[in-house]
Amino acid sequence: MSWISRVRNALAYVTTKATDTPDNLWHKCKGCGTMVFTKELEDNLYVCPTCDHHERIGPARRFEYLFDKNSYTVIASPKVAEDPLKFRDQKPYPARLKAARAATGEPDAFLNASGTIHGQKAVIGVQDFAFMGGSMGQAVGEAFIAGVEAAIGARAPYIVFTASGGARMQEGILSLMQMPRTTVAIEMLHDAGLPYIVVLTDPTSGGVMAAYAMLGDVQIAEPRATLAFTGRRVIENTIREKLPDDFQTSEYYRDHGLVDMVEHRKDLRDVLGRLIGLLCNAKEAA
């Protein structure tokens, strides 16, 4: 046996094969670039312990973090026509939907659940940026309306977490029609005397920003989220002025009166619990 073989065999006893090492032990923070141990990030609600950057999370984790333990039930989303315009770009629209569903395990970019927060009834709708950029199509519109109807049926507030790049281009005008439809649904909620609370997360933009994302009775945002109707460059070219560095951030919106508060993810559950108590009691007293 050559010396190379002897060394290779010896190393096999003291080193771990690459195939035995999980590839998700570490996460690189998108805010500061620090490598964070994934378990530590999970324990910190997917907020970087170094720079406080809030990572994007989907409906399952939102529901887990917000609802009382074992108190919530996911609401089935209505079925819609999957490819009404027979749209195709680099690949067919149904193929994109299939890939997004396989990656996220969700039927589309918006999911509702009903449960309790600090013992108080609530319906929560969560938009998932991981599903085709959280784009708003017919499925998102129908799910939003289903969430409103569930809130009215339960006599509970409707809390929506937005995260979207805007309308879904594969559905054209049918996607844009969801803007007035969701606005009417919010009016139904108001007519029933129930609060509508919006939590803006990173990023929220486009048609969603121009519709239900900015119509809350209370507007909350997570720290340093990008919030915009259109891109920074488009606005600068239009007005021919340089915009502030913090333009289109949660903090800029709060300082200019467009959102009511910016809240850390670890505080959201308590903040929402207090708001539900205040708003629902006020409605009942009225």
Annotated binding site: which residue ranges?
29, 32, 48, 51
Terminal-residue alpha carbon distance, the chain? 90
The CA distance from 197 to 266, in Å, is: 18
Contact call for residues 138 and 84 (beta carbons, < 8 A)? yes
SS3 assignment, position 7 = helix
Burial class of residue 92 in the structure, from the number of CB atoms within 10 Å of its CB (0-12 exposed, 13-18 middle, 19+ buried)? middle
Among 120, 79, 145, 150, smallest CA distance to 277 is for 120
Binding positions for Zn(2+) are 29, 32, 48, 51
SS3 assignment, position 201 = strand
Residue 252 gets the label, from left (phi > 0), alpha (psi -120 to 50) or beta, of alpha
- Parallel, antiparallel, or unpaired: how do β-strands 73-75 and 35-37 relate? unpaired
Contact call for residues 262 and 246 (beta carbons, < 8 A)? no
